């Protein structure tokens, strides 16, 4: 690291490249933390984890025992093991005993994106509660027609305060915190909605994944959805070659003779073929380029064939848009993970190495910095796949039962995972343990002979 | 200090990042345009060399600088894009000699992630479009319309994610780019795409080339008739086009910059990271390329940009060393080099570390920087002062005094220069050829030392020697009258003006003479109780040739006395205190205020306000100007009065806004000075120094003077030790012998005056010097150098081993006294409560200095604190420790004496990637971070809850646009007790671009006033290219963009002084104060740097 620091000092490496390189190194060394320990306050499986977006300091967890808890992940409550292991106990917990606590499992707990003054929970008791963090009192609540699977708020939103909710019901509901009323409903899914996710490039665009296997894109300012992802839509036309290629025989021959690239590379190449990259912030509808062999038209005139397209066989259990807003990851009960090109709506066909995914519950995926890795709960382990090749880069074994959720903290390059074993595990970049031990009395040495 | 800070540049950026050549200012003029990160300079090529035409700040870090010429234009336009996604097109307005903005805009996107390899901006050679690669996976196109106007931009998806370079190809019917990229398996390829403006998409291009040199990183498009592209790798250079492929191997090197020599594109200059300049030639038969040839031309500074100007003259812009203007000769010199350096342009960047020292102990800091990289590493001594422009000099030893004389009373210019030596007096005069030659004034006594000379009324000259006062006609040069000292007495000191002479002989006799036409009259004689050490009768009243007052400095009772003239009545007696006798006294008036200056034998200067009617002395102030006796002399330049204090630290004293100001003169030891205003050298000074007599003029403003000490290796850390009068540096020497490269890390000891290496301590293989400190420990009177190191092993991502070495300087050598192994890199060392505080990887560790039984010393660890990612930067104050973490902003630790433990007190929870920290005062800490911002945080001791007290509140934020490597307390100007500016605490910073800046903490009232001024100035001074100042200074990183707060842009505020009167009036009106008042307040600020 010293060499890179020296290069940064001398201007030989750009500061942002330096930071990215350092983050990458840290992510590669992720392992079960040897210095950070979260003392889970839950007696049920952990369903949802999120660190606040403002300071990256408070972890919010929701669990099946109807409890929600918050932890300070930056400042330990106490230390153990010679002051090296920081224990993080919960700052507060609200459970059934709380006067307005949820009655059944909390499936989703998210922070209000602007500050940590509020958080939102969704529960199988058909309710969405909005809490004041400081008083742990419910400020507003919304009654849903069925179990709430997932709630989400847009981190970009400047002109709305909407909670998007996916429930057992076929309709996606938008709850307005400002007015305390349901803003509107989005109809299209044919089964319950397991997962909802706001776009990372437009505050108006919402992505939802249903038990019907469909992933739908909505512009909430307009009626109906404007895009339904189709897993079979993958082949994009190559960029049209120029007509006269006679002059390039040498080069083209070298190209054709080269062995065909392996699948992941090809897949990735394919997904990037088309479309102009203009941002979606104005009107995604107007921006869909009028070219390519097949074009979805807009709801309500959308062809029924397109409207019935599926992204997964079975339910869509998890969604995650990438940081740069260009891709979407989805997980399904078909144990598949798919990477989609948002602009064109195509399946990129990246082959994520055999994953067996939990099928019955929504799952929370996470991506690393610069969207290089995706963290996926795979039964009792969590795997980190390379986003572009689908290769397994890292495997995290530590939970005793199925993992439901992961959250990756960009700020600390730490991964938080929660599972049915009621544990919240922290995976952090490795620290040299002996460095911590040095200078101290060698009391930790065991006295065993070989 | 306070939270209200004022940021100002003392030394502008000098790191040359871009350059281009074209007809910018007129179709017939060739211009060199240079970008220095946040500034652009426009030069005109003339037969005399490069003439600067304009140097303007840009409100942004320049990412792209390109000249282009749209159809139908007769001269080039300049395209600039900044790192914060703004662009502008500039045109030269020949009438006003200003830049006008043709177009501007924002090219940022919500989607995509910023490229790691930096932004690329290119312009189609046919001027059909501008291409920008700003985000991975996107290629932004700004098309031109038929009239050369820019149209709305759009993005095209680019498959290649790891793009290394993109260029436009020449000679294509449709705009075509060539992309050099790296794939998933780290193989590098090039590919071409046509840009279809109609479809807003790419079309597969005419050719591609796979599997290139692994080090290929640079594309050079070749203009017609050859067309195609050169791909510069580390081991091969390839020429590639649709129908040709030629490659040659080269000696392994990394090419940093290229410059095209001929417009037909057959020859290129390539500059590599070792500063070697090579010529690449494309051999061709008509339009068919037959091969490539490469030839080494010689060595230059390490080039970041190369611009071929004309007639074999080339501009080499450098980021790591001085930029150069070179000439390529037809034939090699003795060393085989074709390169001849015509001019060097100083570059301080990158300033990796620096220290502020006051080598002369006079309250003015000098900055000694570790500058440059690789072979161009250097130390630079940066010092503020007034420069002397030397015009002539002669070697003359042993000068004891100098006076200039006129050939007649009416003459406007001086003719004679009387130079006095221990046993003779020589007279120099300007002859007809404006040369200085020795002459004689017959009436003068030249066999003895002259004590004083002066012009007198009636075309006469006065010479005082130890035995007599001689009155000589300046016309006939004959003696007209002589006053002899009484027998047995010799004259010790004397002074005179046009009509009066005052002298003192041994025994305390004071004699006053008046000068008439051919007569010297002894008017008064008085005996004082002690010997007289110095005296002065400089007229400061209404009559410029007659003084009512005489001032006398005394031995024994150490006093100055004021006498009235002509009666020599004692008016005032001012005891000076102390034991140092006054050596020079001077009566002078600045801006209508009379002062008495009195210089002591130890380099101190006293000044008093003098009431000329009552003779009362008030407002006594004392400052130190040097260590040697001072001689005071007045001179005037451009109708302003100055006083020159000649000593080992020559100083010019002047007055501005009725305050006395002191400015260093950029000279060493001056023994004597006299004004010498001749027709050939108007307003000049004659200066006697170090066996030399120099004639020169003086700068009218003080500025930074830079002395370069080229090391040939890269210094990384520096510190100064006053006791041993040495500097110690950690330095890296790069060896390129025999093809393989190695680094050698050493600790060097340098003399603080000569900067010679006096001792070297080599570090182990793989061992790097990371930190250096001069300190002493409790219970030990010795002073040590402590060096922290790291073993950087190729297989380790983070060092796991390092050392702390404790050295003592003995007989000019570094003696290792103790060493302590650490479990990581020692990033920082601080003296802390008589102990040593080290930052080692994640940990802060405190060491005691222990005496072992055998009398030797060792470092013993006392306590530590964990919990950082990397504790890179540490500053301490009392028991407080402020840590700048690699990525977790600033935290505050406290050392608890009772428990002997270090605990965290508070921290800033923002995720700032730090590059430097400093403690401003007990509560406020300053930090610089990775995205070129600075910020302040404040300790919240009054917080109601633990949570509040445990948080450092962000109180100031500002985008500096510079990457700061180091803050240090100190000042570049003399801190005087009597000036307002002297009360303002300052911190100096050094940046990668070679900027030296000052952050000054202002009182709140002044801050509010200046903030108002800044707001007014923003409206009047528009940014080049229409870029917004407010946006530029807003704190910006990956996570957020917020308006600057509690920092003011001193560069903008001080540009008030450059405005024309009507604009000044406009602003003064808005501010509700007079222009004079505003000027005065801003001028005061300029004295901070």
| A325 → chain B, closest CA residue | B111
B744 min Cα distance to partner chain A (Å): 14
Interchain proximity B110–A431, CB inside 8 Å: no
Per the CB < 8 Å rule, is B204 touching A281?
no
Spans of chain B, pLDDT less than 50: none
Residue A375 clears pLDDT 90, i.e. is over it: yes
How far does B35 lie from chain A, in Å, by closest CA?
16
Nearest CA in chain B to A58: B909
B994 touches chain A (CB under 8 A): no
Pick from B935, B844, B940: nearest CA to B883: B844
- Contact call for A16 and B930, based on CB within 8 A: yes
* DSSP-based three-state secondary structure for A172: strand
Look at residue B827 in the predicted model and tell me its pLDDT.
95
Q: Which of A248, A243, A235, A262 is nearest to B191 (CA)?
A: A248
Which of residues 289 through 348 in chain B touch A, CB cutoff 8 A?
A: 319-320
**Does residue A188 carry a pLDDT above 50?**
yes
Tell me if A337 sits within 8 A of A223, measured CB to CB: no
For chain B, say whether A442 makes contact (Cβ under 8 Å).
Answer: no
Interface of B with A in 102-121 (CB under 8 A): 109-114, 116-118
Interchain proximity A201–B111, CB inside 8 Å: yes
Query: Which range has the worst mean pLDDT, A210-224, A302-316, B836-850?
Result: A302-316
Q: Which residue of chain A is at minimal alpha-carbon distance from B202?
A: A239
Nearest in space to A407 (alpha carbons), one of A86, A48, A133, A106: A48
Whether the Cβ atoms of residue A218 and residue A186 lie closer than 8 Å to each other: yes
Is A99 an interface residue toward B (CB < 8 Å)?
Answer: no
Given a cut of 50, whether residue A361 has pLDDT beyond it is: yes
Strands A36-38 and A85-88: parallel
Min distance A438 CA to chain B CA atoms (Å): 7
Chain A closest-CA separation from residue B136 CA (Å):
9
Q: Touching check for B243 and chain A: CB below 8 Å? A: yes
Yes or no, beta carbons of A6 and B872 under 8 Å apart: no
B71: CB partners within 8 A, 6+ apart: B127, B146, B148
Residue of B nearest to A438 (CA): B823
Query: Residue B977: its pLDDT value, please?
Result: 57
- SS3 assignment, position A215: strand
Which position has the higher pLDDT, B836 or A437?
B836
State whether A254 and B210 contact (CB < 8 Å).
yes
SS3 B956: strand
Q: Is A92 on the interface with B (CB under 8 A)?
A: no
Which pLDDT band holds residue A275 (cuts at 50, 70, 90)?
Answer: very low
How near does any CA of chain A get to the CA of B79, in Å? 23
Residue A222, chain B, CB below 8 Å: the answer is no
What is d(CA B551, CA B571) in angstroms, rounded to the nearest whole number? 10
Question: Cα angle at B32 between B31 and B37, to 5 degrees?
Answer: 140
- Domains of chain A from N-terminus onward: 33-238+299-439 (2.130.10.10)
Q: Measured between CB atoms, which of B193, B207, B911 is closest to A251?
A: B207
Residues in chain B with CB shorter than 8 Å from the CB of A84 are 866
User: A433 in contact with B at a CB cutoff of 8 Å?
Assistant: no
Q: Are A131 and A94 in contact (CB under 8 A)?
A: yes
Q: Does B842 touch chain A (CB under 8 A)?
A: yes
Residue B618 to residue B572: CA distance in whole angstroms: 11
**The pLDDT value given to residue A249:** 38
Q: Does A57 touch chain B (CB under 8 A)?
A: yes
Contact at CB, A276 and B156, closer than 8 angstroms: yes
- What does the pLDDT read at residue B737? 60
What 3-state class would DSSP assign to A146?
A: coil
A397 neighbors A357 (Cβ within 8 angstroms): no
CB contact under 8 A, B931 and A279: no
- Nearest residue on chain A to B801, judged by CA atoms? A435
Out of A83, A251, A343, closest to residue B866 by CB: A83
- Name B377's Cβ contacts closer than 8 Å, sequence gap at least 6: B370, B371, B710, B711, B712, B713, B714, B715, B731, B732
Chain A residue nearest residue B152, CA to CA: A278
Q: Which residue from B111, B158, B792 is facing A3, i.e. has the nearest CB?
A: B792
Q: Say yes or no: A239 contacts chain B, CB-CB below 8 A.
A: yes
pLDDT above 60: residue A306: yes
- Whether the model clears a pTM of 0.95, i.e. scores above it, the answer is no
Nearest to A431 among B210, B768, B842 (CB): B842
Distances (CA, A) of B280 to A205, A433, B267, B297: 53, 53, 6, 10
pLDDT for residue A214: 94
B823 and A CB contact within 8 Å:
yes
Contact A439 B136 (CB under 8 A): no
User: Across the interface, do B206 and A248 touch by the CB < 8 Å criterion?
Assistant: yes
3-class SS of residue B1061: helix
CA distances from A382 to A334, A363, A379, B700, B757 (A): 17, 12, 8, 71, 58
pLDDT digits (tens, 9 = 90+) for A49-66: 999 988 889 999 999 999
CB B67 within 8 A of CB B78: yes
Q: Whole-angstrom Cα distance, residue B663 to residue B364? A: 9
For residue A206, give how far its alpha carbon lies from the nearest alpha carbon of chain B (Å).
Answer: 16
Q: What is the per-residue pLDDT across B427-479, written as a single tens digit (0 to 9) for each?
A: 998 877 778 888 888 899 999 999 999 999 999 999 999 999 999 998 888 99
- The pLDDT score that the predictor gives to residue A250 is 37
pLDDT bin (cut points 50, 70, 90) of residue A439 is: very low
Residue of A nearest to B947 (CA): A75
d(CA B470, CA B480): 8
- Out of A84-88, A258-262, B76-80, B355-359, give the one with best mean pLDDT: B76-80
- Where residue A305 falls among pLDDT bands split at 50, 70, 90? low
The strand pairing partners of B395, in sequence order, are B692
What distance in Å separates residue B161's CA from the closest CA in chain A? Answer: 10
CA distances from A57 to A71, A211, B161 (A): 8, 34, 33
Residues 6+ apart with CB under 8 A from A428: A30, A31, A33, A34, A35, A36, A412, A413, A414, A415
Q: Are A439 and B861 a contacting pair at CB < 8 A?
A: yes
Kindly state the average pLDDT of the residues A27-38: 91
């Amino acid at each position: 690291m010293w060499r890179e620091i020296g290069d940064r000092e001398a201007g030989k490496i750009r500061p942002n490249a330096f930071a990215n390189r350092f983050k990458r190194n840290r992510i590669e060394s992720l392992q079960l933390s040897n210095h950070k320990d979260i003392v889970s306050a839950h007696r049920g499986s952990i369903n949802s984890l999120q660190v606040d977006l403002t300071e990256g300091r408070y972890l919010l967890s929701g669990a099946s025992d109807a409890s929600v808890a918050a932890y300070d992940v930056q400042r330990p409550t106490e230390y153990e093991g010679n002051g090296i292991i920081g224990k993080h106990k919960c700052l507060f917990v609200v459970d059934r005993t709380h006067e307005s606590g949820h009655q059944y499992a909390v499936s989703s707990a998210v922070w209000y994106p602007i500050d940590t003054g509020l958080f939102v929970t969704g529960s199988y008791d058909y309710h969405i509660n909005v809490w004041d963090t400081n008083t742990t009192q419910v400020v507003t609540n919304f009654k849903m027609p069925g179990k709430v699977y997932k709630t989400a708020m847009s981190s970009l939103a400047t002109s709305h305060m909407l909670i998007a909710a996916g429930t057992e019901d076929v309709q996606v509901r938008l709850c307005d915190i400002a007015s305390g009323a349901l803003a509107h409903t989005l109809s299209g899914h044919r089964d319950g909605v397991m997962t909802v996710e706001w776009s990372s490039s437009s505050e108006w665009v919402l992505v939802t994944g249903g038990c019907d296997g469909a992933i739908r894109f909505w512009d909430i300012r307009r009626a109906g959805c404007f895009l339904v992802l189709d897993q079979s839509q993958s082949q994009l036309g190559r960029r049209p070659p120029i007509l006269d290629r006679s002059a390039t025989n040498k080069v083209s021959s070298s190209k054709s003779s080269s062995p065909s690239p392996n699948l992941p590379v090809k897949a990735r190449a394919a997904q990037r073929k088309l479309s102009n990259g203009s941002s979606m912030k104005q009107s995604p509808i107007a921006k869909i380029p009028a070219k390519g062999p097949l074009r979805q038209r807009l709801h309500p005139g959308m062809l029924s064939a397109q409207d019935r397209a599926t992204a997964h066989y079975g339910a869509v259990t998890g969604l995650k848009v990438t940081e740069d807003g260009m891709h979407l990851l989805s997980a399904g009960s078909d144990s598949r993970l798919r990477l989609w090109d948002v602009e064109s709506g195509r399946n990129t066909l990246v082959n994520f190495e055999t994953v067996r995914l939990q099928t019955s519950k929504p799952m929370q995926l996470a991506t690393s910095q610069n969207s290089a890795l995706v963290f996926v709960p795979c039964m009792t382990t969590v795997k980190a796949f390379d986003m572009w090749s689908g290769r397994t880069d890292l495997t995290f074994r530590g939970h005793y039962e199925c993992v439901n959720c992961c959250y990756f903290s960009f700020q600390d390059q730490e991964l938080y995972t929660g599972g049915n074993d009621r544990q919240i595990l922290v995976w952090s970049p490795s620290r040299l343990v002996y460095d911590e031990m040095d200078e101290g009395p060698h009391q930790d040495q065991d006295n065993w002979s070989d | 200090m306070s939270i209200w800070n004022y940021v100002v540049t003392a030394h502008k950026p000098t790191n040359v990042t871009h350059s281009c050549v074209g007809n910018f200012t007129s179709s017939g003029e060739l211009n060199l345009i240079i970008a220095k990160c946040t500034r652009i300079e426009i030069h005109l090529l003339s037969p005399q060399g490069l003439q600067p035409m304009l140097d303007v700040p840009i409100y942004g870090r320049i990412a792209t600088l390109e000249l282009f010429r749209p159809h139908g234009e007769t001269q080039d336009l300049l395209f600039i894009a900044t790192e914060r996604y703004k662009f502008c097109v500039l045109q030269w307005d020949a009438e006003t000699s200003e830049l006008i903005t043709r177009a501007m805009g924002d090219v940022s996107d919500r989607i995509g992630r910023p490229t790691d390899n930096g932004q690329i901006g290119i312009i189609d050679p046919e001027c059909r479009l501008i291409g920008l690669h700003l985000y991975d996976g996107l290629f932004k196109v700004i098309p031109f319309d038929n009239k050369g106007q820019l149209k709305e931009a759009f993005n095209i998806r680019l498959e290649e994610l790891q793009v290394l370079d993109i260029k436009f190809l020449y000679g294509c019917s449709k705009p075509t780019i060539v992309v050099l990229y790296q794939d998933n398996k780290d193989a590098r390829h090039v590919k071409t795409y046509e840009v279809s403006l109609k479809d807003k998409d790419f079309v597969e291009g005419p050719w591609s080339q796979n599997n290139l040199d692994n080090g290929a990183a640079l594309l050079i498009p070749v203009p017609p008739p050859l067309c195609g592209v050169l791909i510069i790798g580390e081991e091969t250079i390839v020429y590639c086009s649709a129908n040709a492929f030629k490659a040659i191997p080269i000696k392994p090197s990394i090419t940093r910059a290229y410059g095209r020599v001929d417009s037909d594109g057959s020859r290129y200059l390539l500059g590599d990271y070792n500063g070697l300049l090579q010529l690449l030639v494309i051999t061709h038969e008509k339009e068919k390329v037959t091969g490539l040839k490469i030839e080494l031309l010689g060595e230059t500074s390490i080039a970041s940009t190369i611009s071929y100007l004309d007639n074999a003259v080339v501009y080499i812009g450098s980021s790591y060393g001085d930029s150069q203007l070179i000439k390529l000769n037809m034939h090699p010199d003795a060393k085989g080099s074709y390169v001849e350096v015509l001019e060097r342009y100083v570059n301080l960047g990158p300033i990796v570390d620096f220290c502020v020292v006051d080598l002369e102990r006079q309250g003015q800091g000098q900055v000694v920087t570790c500058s440059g990289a690789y072979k161009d590493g250097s130390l630079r001594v940066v010092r503020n002062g007034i420069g002397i422009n030397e015009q002539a000099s002669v070697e003359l030893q042993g000068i004891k005094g100098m006076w200039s004389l006129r050939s007649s009373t009416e003459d406007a210019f001086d003719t004679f220069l009387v130079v006095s030596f221990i046993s003779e007096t020589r007279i120099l005069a300007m002859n007809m050829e404006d040369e200085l030659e020795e002459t004689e004034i017959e009436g003068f006594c030249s066999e003895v030392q002259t004590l004083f000379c002066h012009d007198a009324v009636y075309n006469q000259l006065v010479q005082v020697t130890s035995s007599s006062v001689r009155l000589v006609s300046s016309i006939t040069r004959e003696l007209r009258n002589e006053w002899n000292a009484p027998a047995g007495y010799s004259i010790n000191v004397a002074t005179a003006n046009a009509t009066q002479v005052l002298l003192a002989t041994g025994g305390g006799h004071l004699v006053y003479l008046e000068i008439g036409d051919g007569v010297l009259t002894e008017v008064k004689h008085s005996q004082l109780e002690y010997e007289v050490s110095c005296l002065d009768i400089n007229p400061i009243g209404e009559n410029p040739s007659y003084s009512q007052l005489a001032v006398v400095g005394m031995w024994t009772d150490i006093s100055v006395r004021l006498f009235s003239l002509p009666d020599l009545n004692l008016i005032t007696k001012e005891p000076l205190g102390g034991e140092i006798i006054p050596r020079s006294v001077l009566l002078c008036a600045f801006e209508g205020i009379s002062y008495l200056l009195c210089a002591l034998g130890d380099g101190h200067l006293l000044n008093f306000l003098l009431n000329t009617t009552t003779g009362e002395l008030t407002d006594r102030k004392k400052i130190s100007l040097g260590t040697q006796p001072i001689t005071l002399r007045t001179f005037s330049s451009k109708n302003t009065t100055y006083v020159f204090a000649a000593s080992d630290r020559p100083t010019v004293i002047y007055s501005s806004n009725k305050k006395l100001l002191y400015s260093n003169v950029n000279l060493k030891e001056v023994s004597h000075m006299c004004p010498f205003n001749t027709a050939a050298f108007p307003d000049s000074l004659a200066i006697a120094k170090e066996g030399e007599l120099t004639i020169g003029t003086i700068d009218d403003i003080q500025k930074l003077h830079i002395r370069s000490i080229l090391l040939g290796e890269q210094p990384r850390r520096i510190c100064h030790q006053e006791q041993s009068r040495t500097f110690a540096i950690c330095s890296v020497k790069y060896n390129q012998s025999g093809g393989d490269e190695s680094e050698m890390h050493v600790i060097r000891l340098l003399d603080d005056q000569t900067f010679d290496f006096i001792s070297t301590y080599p570090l182990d293989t793989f061992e790097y010097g990371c930190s250096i400190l001069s300190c002493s420990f409790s219970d030990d009177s010795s002073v040590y150098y402590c060096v922290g190191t790291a073993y950087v092993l190729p297989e380790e991502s983070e060092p796991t081993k390092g050392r702390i070495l404790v050295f003592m300087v003995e007989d000019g050598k570094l003696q290792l006294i103790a060493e302590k192994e650490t479990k990581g890199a020692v990033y920082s060392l601080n003296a802390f409560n008589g102990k040593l505080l080290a930052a080692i990887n994640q940990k802060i560790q405190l060491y005691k200095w222990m005496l072992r039984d055998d009398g030797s010393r060792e470092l013993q660890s006392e306590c530590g604190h964990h919990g950082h990612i990397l504790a890179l930067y540490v500053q301490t104050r009392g028991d407080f420790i402020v840590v700048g973490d690699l990525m977790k902003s600033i935290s505050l630790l406290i050392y608890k004496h009772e428990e002997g433990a270090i605990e965290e007190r508070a921290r800033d929870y923002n995720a700032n990637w730090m590059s430097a920290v400093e403690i401003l005062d007990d509560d406020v800490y300053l930090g610089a971070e990775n995205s070129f911002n600075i910020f302040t945080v404040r300790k919240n001791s009054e917080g109601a809850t633990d949570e509040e007290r445990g948080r450092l509140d962000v109180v100031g934020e500002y985008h500096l646009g510079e990457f700061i490597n180091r803050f240090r307390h100190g000042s570049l100007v003399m801190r005087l007790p009597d000036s307002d500016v002297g009360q303002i605490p300052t911190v100096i910073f050094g940046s990668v671009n070679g900027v030296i800046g000052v952050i000054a903490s202002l009182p709140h009232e002044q801050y509010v006033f200046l903030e108002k001024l800044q707001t007014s100035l923003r409206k009047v001074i528009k940014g080049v290219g229409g870029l917004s100042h407010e946006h530029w200074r807003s704190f910006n990183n990956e996570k957020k963009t917020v308006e600057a707060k509690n920092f003011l842009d001193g560069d903008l505020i001080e540009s008030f002084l450059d405005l024309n009167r009507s604009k000044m009036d406009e602003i003064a009106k808005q501010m509700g104060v007079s222009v004079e008042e505003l000027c005065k307040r801003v001028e005061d600020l300029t004295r901070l740097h």
